[in-house]
Amino acid sequence: MTDHNDIDLRVRIGPLRLRNPVLAASGTFGYGREFADLVNLHRLGGVVTKGISLLPRPGNPPPRIVETACGMLNAIGLENVGVDEFIRRKMVFLRSAGTRVFVNILGDSIDDYARLAEQLSGVEGIDALEVNISCPNVKQGGVAFGTVPEMAAAVTASVRAATDLPVIVKLSPNVTDIAAMARVVEEAGADAVSLINTLIGMAIDCRTRRPRLANVIGGLSGPAIKPVALRMVWQVARTVSIPVIGIGGIATAGDALEFLIAGASAVQVGTANFRQPSVTEEIVAGIRSFLQEEGMLSVRDIIGTLQVEGG
Amino acid sequence: MTDHNDIDLRVRIGPLRLRNPVLAASGTFGYGREFADLVNLHRLGGVVTKGISLLPRPGNPPPRIVETACGMLNAIGLENVGVDEFIRRKMVFLRSAGTRVFVNILGDSIDDYARLAEQLSGVEGIDALEVNISCPNVKQGGVAFGTVPEMAAAVTASVRAATDLPVIVKLSPNVTDIAAMARVVEEAGADAVSLINTLIGMAIDCRTRRPRLANVIGGLSGPAIKPVALRMVWQVARTVSIPVIGIGGIATAGDALEFLIAGASAVQVGTANFRQPSVTEEIVAGIRSFLQEEGMLSVRDIIGTLQVEGG
Amino acid sequence: MTKFQEKAQILDRQELAASIIRLTLHAPLVAAAAHPGQFVMVRVGDSFDPLLRRPFSIHQVSAGGDLQLLFKVVGQGTRCLARLRPGEKLDLLGPLGRGFRLQREDPVCLVGGGMGIAPLYFLGKRLLMHGRLPEFDPVLLGAASQRELALLADEFFALGYDVHTATDDGTLGHHGFVTDLLDPVLPRVSRVYVCGPYPMMRIVAARCLAAGVECEVSLEAHMACGLGACLGCTVRATEGYAHVCLQGPVFDAGEVAWQ
Amino acid sequence: MTKFQEKAQILDRQELAASIIRLTLHAPLVAAAAHPGQFVMVRVGDSFDPLLRRPFSIHQVSAGGDLQLLFKVVGQGTRCLARLRPGEKLDLLGPLGRGFRLQREDPVCLVGGGMGIAPLYFLGKRLLMHGRLPEFDPVLLGAASQRELALLADEFFALGYDVHTATDDGTLGHHGFVTDLLDPVLPRVSRVYVCGPYPMMRIVAARCLAAGVECEVSLEAHMACGLGACLGCTVRATEGYAHVCLQGPVFDAGEVAWQ
Ligand SMILES: Cc1cc2nc3c(=O)[nH]c(=O)nc-3n(C[C@H](O)[C@H](O)[C@H](O)COP(=O)(O)OP(=O)(O)OC[C@H]3O[C@@H](n4cnc5c(N)ncnc54)[C@H](O)[C@@H]3O)c2cc1C
Ligand SMILES: Cc1cc2nc3c(=O)[nH]c(=O)nc-3n(C[C@H](O)[C@H](O)[C@H](O)COP(=O)(O)OP(=O)(O)OC[C@H]3O[C@@H](n4cnc5c(N)ncnc54)[C@H](O)[C@@H]3O)c2cc1C
Ligand SMILES: Cc1cc2nc3c(=O)[nH]c(=O)nc-3n(C[C@H](O)[C@H](O)[C@H](O)COP(=O)(O)O)c2cc1C
Ligand SMILES: Cc1cc2nc3c(=O)[nH]c(=O)nc-3n(C[C@H](O)[C@H](O)[C@H](O)COP(=O)(O)O)c2cc1C
Ligand code: FES
Ligand code: FES
C-alpha cells in the first residue's frame, strides 16, 4: 500500500496542468460561487462555467427540467449572463476560488464563437475554453454544429485562431460516429475533446397530453447515460491523440475511474452535483483511496489501462 | 366514465390487426413459452420472438449482461436456434399461444435477410416479420445495416420482395438522424417501423481493468433509455406515414401511453419483462383504466394526440 | 447566507392524516440559520431512482436545533420519505432561498392552503418574537377536510392567532374555499402572507392588489439543485424570468406574472 | 415444472453474522414446488435502481409453506434486502432451474463454502426423506470464521450428518480450506454435491474426477430473467455454452468447461 499523501493525482490536458482529474461540468455548477459553501473548490481539478454567449440570454420558458429514471431532462435554453457581465462580475469570485477555470462558450454562428474566444483571451484567471458545439447553427437552418463534421471543424478552427488559451471542444453524443467527430475536431486544432454532452430526450404528461418540457425536447443527463458516455469516451480515446475529458453520469469515484481506465485524462461531474454538492471533492478522495489500495503511485498510471482481449 | 368492457383497445399495424397495442419485445421474451406460466399470452397484442438467423448461433462468450443505473447492458451476440429449428420446434407453442406472432430476423448480408423472409413466409402462425437492422454487415466491413441509410433501404427492399407478410423494420437509435432512417425504410417498402433497439454502451470493472462484458460493448436497455426512445418515436411519427411501434424503457402503463400519445400505434415492452414477468398484461389493464378515467372509448383516440405549441 | 449540508437524525414521525406526515429532525446547523419561508433540499434515499433531492419548506425550528417538515405523499420521492422512521437519518441541504419579510407593526394575515400551511407556522412563530399581538392577526387555513387541518389549526390557535378555517367537505369551519374568508379580513391588515395551491395564491394576490394590501406568495417549481446553479426552477415574472430557489420561493405578488 | 410469482410475507429475520442474513418467508406456492438446488428470483424493491431481480438459492422449505433464504450483503441489491423487516413483503419468482439429483442409496458428501451452504441445507433435509442414514454422509462446511459457520454446522449436525468444518481464521474446525478435508472422505462416497466459490468447486470437481466419484456443482452467473428468455446467464460448457438458469444452476461437474 502506498502512503495516502504520496499519491500523485496531477494530470495534463494538453498544455494545461491540473491538480487532479476531477472537474465540475458546465451548467451544473453555476459560476462556482453557488457551491462555495458546500464543497472546497480548491480541492477540485477545476470548474467549468455555465455556457456563455456574446449577449445575455433569458433561456427557455418553464418547465425546464423533469426527472427521469436515474436521470433528468433539461431544457434550460442556455440562459446566461452574457460574456461582458461574466467577465465583469462572475470572474471576480472564480479568480479567487483556487481552482482552474474553464469557460464554456456557445454561439449561433461561427463568428459568435470566434468573438467570444477573443473577448475571453487575456482575461485573468481563465485557464481554458470549452467549446459547446451542441447548439443549433441559426445561420444554417438550425442544424447543430455538433452533428455535422465540417461545421464542428469550422467552429474549432475559428476558436483556435482567435485565442491562445487551450481549446477543448465538447462533443455531442447525438451522432452516428463520435470518433469521426473527434477526429475532425483534432485536425482542426483542438487541444482536447470533452464528451459527452446530453442525449436528446423527451417526456410527456399523459393527462394533459403535453410535453413535460416547454421546449418539448431536452438533454438527458445523470447515471442513466453513463454506459453510453463511457463507450463513446473509449471509442474517442482509441482514435485521437489529444487528451479526452470524460463526462456523463459520473456520480462516484468508481464511475470516474471507469472513464480514466477507458482513456480519459480527466472527468467532469455534472448532474451528480445536484444530488450531492460535495460529490466532486469526494470523488477526488475516492480516487486517491483506490490508487492507494491498488498500490499505485500516480493517477496517470491508470489512464487508458483498459485490457481488451486481442485489442 | 366509460364502462370498462366497452373500451376498444384494437389497433392496426399496416395490414395487421392487433387485439391491443402491447407486445413483448424481441430478445426479452424468449420464444414465448418461457413466460407462459407467468402471464396470459392471449391477453397481449403480440409477442416478438428472439432474433432468428439462417443458421443457429452460439452467441457471445460470458459475461453477457451487466446491470447499470435503471438499465442493463447485454451482449448476447444474437444466440438463437436458427430458422429451421425455430420453425420446427418453437413455432409449435407459439402457434397455439393465442396471440400475434412477430418473428424478428437478422443476418450478416442482404441475402441472408431475403432468404429468412422467404423461409418464414407461409409458415402457419407467423403474423409479421420484424427486421433487425442493428447487426453488422459482415460483407461490407462490419458497419451496421442500421446506421447507413442506403444499406437499411436495401435490406428493407429485399425482405419486402421476398415475402407477403407485413414487414416491420426495427431501427437502431445509434444514428444522428433517426427520422431520415425511417424515411428511407418507408420508401423501400416497410409496412411499419419499430424503434428503438438498444443504445450502444459499455461498463468497466475498475479492479480488473477489464470490460464487464466479454464483448466489450453491449446494448443499453431499460427505463434509463426511455426519454431518448420517446423523443425518437415522436420525431419518426411526425415524419413517416406508416405506423410506428414504440420501444424503449417501457415499464408501466403510463410509459406506454406516453409513446402512444407521441404517435406510436403500438408499443413493445422489453427489459421490464425481467423485472415483472406479467408486466405486459398489467400494461394492457392500465391503459384500459386510463382510457376509462379519461372517458375515452378507443385507444386509437389517444394515438398521436401530443399537443405541441405552434406545432 | 451560509448553507449547510447536514445528516439529520429523525426524532419523531407523526401521521396527521392519511399520507400527511410530519417529521421532526435534529438539524442544528440548518435550524439555527433558517428564516421563515426558506426551504431545504432533501435527499430521498441511496438509490439513483429517484435521483434528485426534493424541496420542502421548513415547517418550524426549535431553539434546541430541531427542525420539522410537513409533507404530503404525492409521488415516488415522498413515498420513500414516508417510510422513514425515528432513528434513521435524512440528508438536508439548507436553509435555501429567500423567505418572508417579517412585518413588525401593523396587523398581517397568513393564508395557507393544504401543505402551504407548512412554512406559515414557522412564520407565525417567528412573527411573535417581534412582540406582535397575534389576536389582531387573522390566520386563514384551508384543506380538503377536518382531519388534515384540525391539529394545525389548533397549533396556530395555541400561539394566540385569530384562526379561521375552511374545508372542501365542510367538516371543519367554512364549507368552501379559504379565499372566501378574505373579504372581512383584508381591510384590517397591511400585509398578507400566502402559501398554497397556485390558483388560490393567484386569487389572493389579485384581491390584495385590488385592496391595496401588500402580498407575499411562496411559489413552487421543479428544482434540481436549489442553489441557483441549474437554472431549472424558472417562473415567469413581470420582468422576464425569475428563479424560485434564488429570488424566491417567496415573492412579492406583484413580481409574479400570474397565468 | 410450474413457476410462480408470489408476494411472500416476511415472517422472521435472523442475522447470523455481520451482513449474513436469513429470511423466513411465507411462500406456499413456491415452497410446495421447490426441489433442492433450485433458486428464486427476488425483486429487490420498488425503485428502478436496482432494476433486475436477484437470484438466491432456496435454503429450506417447510411443510407449512415457509421458505428460507440465506444471503450475504455484497452490493446494492442485498443491502436493500437486508433492510427488510418481518411483516414486509418480498416478491419471488420460482422455483427456477434444475436442482440436485437426489441419491437414494450409497453415501454422499455435501461440500459447502460460504453462502454456498444455503442450498445444501435444503438438500440435506430432503435427502433424509429417502430414508438415508446421515451418519454415513459427510458434510464439509467452510467459511471465513466461526461466527458465519457455527449455527449452520449445528443445524446439519442436528439432522444427524457427519459434519466437518474449516475456517480461514481457524476459529472453528480445520484452519484452512474446506477442500483440505476431502481426502479421507472421497473413497467413502459415490457422489459429491458442492456449492461455493468457483475456485473451490473447481478443485472439488477435479478431485472427484480423479477419484471416480460423481460430482454435482451449483454454478452462478449474472442473470436478468431466470427463465431462459434473456440468454444472459451463459457459462462455458464442454460442448458450447450452457445457461445457468435453464440447464443449471446444478450441473454435472463433467459438463462444465472449468477455467
Ligand atoms: C420551495 C418548495 C417548498 C415546498 N414545500 C413543501 C412542503 O412543505 N410540503 C410538501 O408536501 N410539499 C412541498 N413542496 C412540494 C414538494 O417538493 C413535492 O411535493 C415533492 O417534490 C414531490 O416529490 P415526489 O417524488 O413525491 O413526487 P413526483 O412523483 O416527483 O411528482 C409529484 C408531483 O410533485 C411535483 N414535483 C416533483 N418534483 C418536484 C420538485 N423537485 N420541485 C417541485 N415540485 C416537484 C410534480 O410537479 C408532480 O406533480 C415544496 C416545493 C417547493 C418548490
Ligand atoms: C443461482 C444462484 C443462486 C444464488 N444463491 C445465493 C444465496 O443463496 N445466497 C447468497 O448470498 N447469494 C446467492 N447468489 C449470489 C447472489 O445472487 C448475488 O450475491 C446477488 O445478486 C448480489 O446482488 P447485489 O445487488 O447485492 O450485488 P451487486 O452490487 O449487483 O454485485 C455484487 C456481486 O454480486 C454479483 N451479482 C450481481 N448481480 C448478480 C446476478 N443477477 N446474478 C449473479 N450474480 C450477481 C456480481 O458478480 C458482483 O460481484 C446466487 C446466485 C445465483 C446465480
Ligand atoms: C441543467 C444542465 C445544464 C447544462 N448546461 C450546459 C451548458 O451550458 N453547456 C454545456 O456544454 N453543457 C451543459 N450541460 C451538460 C453537462 O455539462 C454534461 O455534459 C451533461 O450533463 C452530462 O453529464 P452528467 O450526466 O454528469 O450530468 C448541462 C447539463 C445540465 C443537467
Ligand atoms: C437481453 C436482450 C436481448 C435482445 N435481443 C434482441 C434481438 O434478438 N433482436 C432485436 O431486434 N432486439 C433485441 N433486443 C432489444 C429489445 O427488443 C428492445 O428493442 C430494447 O431492449 C429496448 O427496449 P426495453 O428498454 O424495453 O428493453 C434485446 C434486448 C435485450 C435486453
Ligand atoms: S433549482 Fe437549480 S437554479 Fe433553482
Ligand atoms: S437468466 Fe435469462 S436466460 Fe438465464
Asked whether residue C102 is assigned to any structural domain, the reply reads: no
At C116, phi and psi to the nearest 5?
-60, -15
CA of C226 to the centre of ligand 5 (A): 4
CA–CA gap between residue C2 and residue A217 (Å, rounded): 35
Of the listed ligands, the closest to the CA of C244 is: 5
Could you tell me if residue C103 is inside a domain? no
Neighbours of chain A (3+ CB pairs under 8 A): B, C, D
**Domain residue limits at D51:** 4-96
What is the overall mean pLDDT for chain B? 95
Instruction: Please state whether C86 falls in left (phi above 0), alpha (psi between -120 and 50) or beta.
Output: beta
Is residue A102 a contact partner of residue A46, using CB atoms and an 8 Å limit?
yes
Give, in order, the Cα–Cα distances in Å from B160 to each of B30, B52, B113, B180, B185: 25, 17, 10, 19, 11
- Same domain membership, residue D154 and residue D251: yes
A-C CB pairs within 8 A amount to 101
Distance CA A121, CA A132 (A): 17
Instruction: Write out chain A's pLDDT in tens, 311 residues.
Output: 555 668 999 999 999 999 999 999 999 999 999 999 999 999 999 999 999 999 999 999 999 999 999 999 999 998 999 999 999 999 999 999 999 999 999 999 999 999 999 999 989 999 999 999 987 766 766 678 899 999 999 999 999 999 999 999 999 999 999 999 999 999 999 999 999 999 999 999 999 999 999 999 999 999 999 999 999 999 999 999 999 999 999 999 999 999 999 999 999 999 999 999 999 999 999 999 999 999 999 999 999 999 998 65
Tens of pLDDT, residue by residue over B228-242, are 999 999 999 999 999
pLDDT of residue B87: 96
Same domain? For C117 and C195 the reply is yes
Give the length of chain C.
259
Report yes or no on C101 lying in a domain.
no
Say what the pLDDT of residue C103 is.
86
Q: Count how many Cα atoms sit within 13 Å of the Cα of residue B201 in the half-sphere of its side chain.
A: 33
Residue D218 covered by a domain: yes
How near does any CA of chain D get to the CA of B82, in Å? Answer: 15
Question: How many CB atoms sit inside 10 A of residue C125's CB?
Answer: 16
Q: How many distinct structural domains can be found in chain D?
A: 2
* b/e map D48-58, b = 16+ CB within 10 Å: bbbbbbbbbbb
A248 in contact with ligand 3, CB cutoff 6 A: yes
φ, ψ of residue A200 to 5 degrees: the values are: -80, 130
Closest CA to A136 of A151, A119, A154: A151
Q: Give the model's confidence band at B141: pLDDT under 50 very low, under 70 low, under 90 confident, else very high.
A: low
Q: Which atom of ligand 3 is nearest to the CA of A223?
A: 25
pLDDT of residue A3: 59
Cβ contacts of A34 on chain C, cutoff 8 Å: 225, 227-229
Task: Report percent pLDDT > 70 for chain D.
Answer: 100
pLDDT classification of D129: cutoffs 50, 70, 90: confident
Which CATH number fits the domain that encloses residue D38?
2.40.30.10
CA D177 vs. chain centroid, Å, equals 18
Mean pLDDT of chain C: 94
* Reported pTM: 0.96
Strand A266-269 to A244-247 pairing: parallel
- The DSSP output letter for A275 is H
Query: Could you give the CA distance from residue C35 to residue C26 in angstroms, rounded to a whole number?
Result: 17
Which SS3 state, helix, strand or coil, does residue C115 take?
A: helix
> In the structure grid, which three cell numbers stand for residue D139, read together?
458434510
Same domain, D91 and D162: no
Residues C51, C156: one domain?
no
User: Among C96, C126, C155, which residue terminates a domain?
Assistant: C96
For residue A255, the chain B residues in CB contact (below 8 A) are none
Structural domain contains residue C238:
yes
Q: Which residues line ligand 4 (CB under 6 A)?
A: B 25-28, 50-51, 74, 76, 78, 104, 132, 170, 197-198, 221-222, 225, 247-250, 269-272; D 230, 232
Of the candidates B123, B116, B181, the residue with the CA atom closest to the CA atom of residue B152: B181
pLDDT tens by residue, D40-62: 999 999 999 999 999 999 999 99
Residue C43 confidence (pLDDT): 97
D83 shares its domain with D182: no
Q: Let me know: does D217 contact D195? Beta carbons within 8 Å.
A: yes
Q: Tell me the percentage of chain B whose pLDDT exceeds 70.
A: 96
Q: Starting from the CA of residue D232, give the closest ligand.
A: 6
Q: Assess if residue D102 is contained within a domain.
A: no
Asked if C130 and C234 sit in the same domain, the reply is yes
Could you give the count of Cα atoms lying within 13 Å of C200 in the half-sphere of its Cβ?
Answer: 28
**Domain stops at, among D42, D76, D96:** D96
CA distance B249 to B268: 9
List the single residue in C with minimal CA-CA distance to D50. C47
**Residues of C whose CB is below 8 A from D79:** 46
Model confidence over D3-14: pLDDT tens digits? Answer: 999 999 999 999
Mean pLDDT (whole number) for B258-275: 98
Question: Are residues C32 and C8 located together in one domain of the fold?
Answer: yes
D66 within a domain of the structure (yes/no):
yes
Report the pLDDT averaged over residues D19-32: 96
**Subunits that touch chain C (at least 3 Cβ pairs < 8 angstroms)?**
A, B, D
Residues D113 and D67 in one domain: no
**C125 and C56 within one domain:** no
Report how far apart, in Å, the C-alpha atoms of B43 and of each of B6, B39, B284 are: 16, 8, 8
Better-predicted residue by pLDDT, C167 or B311: C167
Burial class (CB in 10 A: 0-12, 13-18, 19+), A48: buried
- Which of D96, D125, D155 terminates a domain? The answer is D96
**What single-letter DSSP state applies at residue B90?**
I
For residue B3, pLDDT over 90 is answered with: no
Cis amide leading into D249 (omega within 30): yes
Give pLDDT tens digits for B104-129: 999 999 999 999 999 999 899 999 99
- Are A71 and C225 in contact (CB < 8 Å)? no
pLDDT digits (tens, 9 = 90+) for D155-195: 999 999 999 999 999 999 999 999 999 999 999 999 999 99
Same domain, D126 and D249: yes
Asked if residue B138 has pLDDT above 70, the reply is: no
- For residue A62, the SS3 value is coil
Looking at the fold, whether D82 and D160 belong to one and the same domain comes out as no
CATH of the domain at D135: 3.40.50.80
Model pLDDT, residue C104: 81
Q: What is the ipTM of this complex?
A: 0.96
Distance between alpha carbon B103 and the CA centroid of its chain, in Å? 10
Looking at the fold, whether C123 and C243 belong to one and the same domain comes out as yes
Report the run of H or E that residue A94 belongs to, with start and end. Answer: helix A91-95
Q: How far is the CA of A81 from the centre of ligand 1 (A)?
A: 28
- Ligand nearest the Cα of residue C59 is 1
The phi, psi pair for B272, rounded to 5°, reads: -60, -25
- Domain membership of residue D75 (yes or no) is yes
- Residues within 8 A of B (CB atoms), A 205-234 only: 206-211, 214, 216-217, 220, 222-228, 230-231, 234
